[in-house]
Amino acid sequence: MNRRTFIKTTSLAGIATTLLPDAHLTSQIAHRKSPLVINTWDYKRIVPETAYNTIVAGGSVIDAVEQAVRIPETDPEITSVGIGGYPDRDGNVTLDASIMDGEGNCGSVMFLEHISHPISVARKVMEKTEHVYLAGEGAMQFALENGFTKEDFLSPAAQKAYQEWLQQSNYKRAKTDEGNHDTIGLIAMDTNGNMAGACSTSGLAWKIRGRVGDSPIIGAGLYVDNEVGAATATGIGEAVVKVCGSFLIVELMRQGKSPQEACQLALERILHKQPKYKSDEGFLVGFCAFNKDGKYGGMSYKKGFEYSVYTDGKYEVVKAESLVK
Ligand code: GLY
């Protein structure tokens, strides 16, 4: 199923209210003999494998997550990340990205234009400045000052989709329409328990110019803490921001919840605080997370979300549990 089309094929039938069993608890043994890499969706084996192999080759976990996320950022076939991203309603591709390590170091860019690797700019923000967030023109200026090149990118597919959308310019549905969201969030842990995460997106298609989602917001689209674990998000960023979704999941794991339970509780929190999303046909949020013992989990609001796992030299795409059956 295409990541951008699955929403319309799912129904809004009832929401499970009881906690689901942790599907992975029994099949996973806590270990750190091998790196562990998890990313939202199936962005092809090469993405988590790049992170895994970077660590195995002796690279740092922050190098690993950056190198992996750079791959979809320059894949023109991916319409929700990087250079292939669908534009805002004025026809501009604007990018958001964040990166974080398990010691609390982090950097982020948002509303960034004309730079093909926002994740690498985010890393420069983290490592070369005292700041966490850079936005818009200032983020682009910083990127250019740090050796990045200004490019124009609106892929032929994105251009075509935009021209079709312009026929109706349906602003009202733009926030939650199917196909308007999809983010790579990737979290990794090396064999010493050092963690990092990276998150990158072009955000909602046809968004209002200047809109920023959850992906560059530390604690919303991404959160990492070596003492506990890591979490990342995909879907409608506004919903994730409203509950600080990834931070919430890490804090729930700190309190003893499994990654699977924590992802479910964060989704339930969104629906509890914002019940309007239950009747929003285009609504989707998905989370995935791991804890420091190497247990992992993932869950989405509706069926169709999947996440990729790479550990022990093996790649697996897991179909996530969903609140709506
Ligand atoms: N989750 C990506 C966004 O809402 O922008």
Does domain 21-313+316-320 fall under CATH 3.60.20.30? My reply is: yes
Quote the pLDDT of residue 181. Answer: 52
What secondary structure does DSSP assign to 276-304, as a single string? GGGG-TT--EEEEEEETTS-EEEEESSTT
pLDDT band at 171 (very low <50, low <70, confident <90, very high): low
pLDDT band at 172 (very low <50, low <70, confident <90, very high): low
C-alpha 312 – ligand 1 centre gap (Å):
31
C-alpha 96 – ligand 1 centre gap (Å):
8
Q: Which of 6-10, 107-111, 180-184, 318-322 has the lowest mean pLDDT?
A: 6-10
pLDDT band at 228 (very low <50, low <70, confident <90, very high): very high
Quote the pLDDT of residue 170. Answer: 73
- Mean pLDDT score, 146-154: 96
Q: State the average pLDDT for the chain.
A: 89
Tokens of 15: 């929401």
CA of 213, closest atom in ligand 1 = 5
pLDDT band at 282 (very low <50, low <70, confident <90, very high): confident
C-alpha 261 – ligand 1 centre gap (Å):
23
Catalytic residue among 79, 183, 201, 311: 183
Quote the pLDDT of residue 32. Answer: 75
Quote the pLDDT of residue 16. Answer: 42
Per the annotation, the verdict on 183 as an active-site residue is: yes
- Segment 260-274, tens digit of pLDDT: 999 999 999 999 999
pLDDT over threshold 70, residue 175: no
pLDDT over threshold 80, residue 201: yes
Quote the pLDDT of residue 176. Answer: 38
| Torsion angle in degrees (nearest 10) through CA of 172, 175, 267, 103 | -160
pLDDT over threshold 50, residue 211: yes
pLDDT band at 11 (very low <50, low <70, confident <90, very high): very low
pLDDT band at 292 (very low <50, low <70, confident <90, very high): very high
CA of 236, closest atom in ligand 1 = 4
Ligand 1, CB within 6 Å, residue ranges:
181, 183, 201, 203-204, 213-215, 234-237
Tokens of 115: 């730079």
C-alpha 127 – ligand 1 centre gap (Å):
24
- Segment 32-55, tens digit of pLDDT: 799 999 999 999 999 999 999 999
pLDDT over threshold 90, residue 152: yes
Taking CA atoms only, the protein residue closest to ligand 1 atom 5 is: 203
Quote the pLDDT of residue 23. Answer: 43
CA of 80, closest atom in ligand 1 = 2
Residue 171 burial (C-beta neighbours within 10 Å; 0-12, 13-18, 19+): exposed
Closest to 248 in 3D by CA, of 214, 282, 279, 277: 214
Pocket mutation for ligand 1, best pick of 80, 214, 232, 241 (most atoms within 8 Å of C-beta): 214
